Structure 1
Amino acid sequence: MAYDPELADRIRELVAGEEGVTEQRMFGGLAFLVDGNMAVTASGQGGLMVRVDPKETDALTDGARVRPMVMRGRAMRGWLRVDIAAEESPHELQQWVARGVSYARSLPAKARNR
């Protein structure tokens, strides 16, 4: 399954003007990075993948629409899968994108490949 280009466009609009934001295709989706740190992705599995403070993982999950990302059978703290479609609430999408951008911005910038 490919990522939803309409959802990617909405994310792009929300991060427009943010300093240090780049896009990169990865994991079948389109990731938006802040200073080299992944913030939010229009996931190739549908919805969003959002990077958050690992300490907030449990408080943000609801077991249905928001759940920890699982990689190789292991839940990854600080990474959430959010079931959201392009046509859903602009406010809800804006909150998730802002949360991911804010956390990614709090991390040290990654050196760029030369």
Structure 2
Amino acid sequence: MAYNTFLADRIEHVLSHAGQPFEAKKMMGGLCFMVNGKMCIGVHEDRIMARVGPEQYEDALHQAGCMEMNFTGKSMKGFVFIDGTVVDTEPQLEYWVDKCLKFNPQAKSSKKKN
């Protein structure tokens, strides 16, 4: 699993300062940060995987460096990739972390696999 560890450390720092309990898990080919047992935000290669929700999805796609999240040929609605180069400053990164944290209470948990 290749992911930008510096970007992951920065996300972890922002989540910690937000006072939000989280767990880091290797999944989806990168590192995901779980909040309330649900995928919230993560890092895949040199980009962020952000769970912004279906209502914020289209608006998010119009942001600089943002694109649909697509692993299998099918877009994952409510999830976007953000190019790591557009979150160079803390306010830019905090913007995306905050979007993900705001959606997290409404996000559905994945069903546990047996």
Structure 2 portions without partners, runs of 5+: none
- Alpha-carbon separation, structure 2, partners of 1:108 and 1:60: 20
User: Corresponding residue for 1:24?
Assistant: 25
- Alpha-carbon separation, structure 2, partners of 1:95 and 1:87: 9
- The alpha carbon displacement at 1:107 in A equals 3.1
Contact 2:64–2:86 (CA under 8 A) maintained in structure 1? no
- The alpha carbon displacement at 1:22 in A equals 0.8
Structure 1 ranges of 4+ moved more than 4 A: 108-113
Size of the aligned set, in residue pairs, is 111
Amino acid at match of 2:77: R
For residue 41 of structure 1, give the secondary structure of its aligned residue in structure 2: strand
Indicate the structure whose relative CO is greater, using CA pairs within 8 Å and at least 6 residues apart: 1
For residue 34 of structure 2, give the secondary structure of its aligned residue in structure 1: strand
User: Corresponding residue for 2:84?
Assistant: 84
Identity %, equivalent residues:
27
Structure with more of its chain in helix, by fraction:
2
> What's the TM-score, normalizing by structure 2?
0.82
Contact 2:67–2:81 (CA under 8 A) maintained in structure 1? yes
- Alpha-carbon separation, structure 1, partners of 2:110 and 2:29: 22
Structure 1 portions without partners, runs of 5+: none
Task: Tell me if 1:73 matches 2:100.
Answer: no
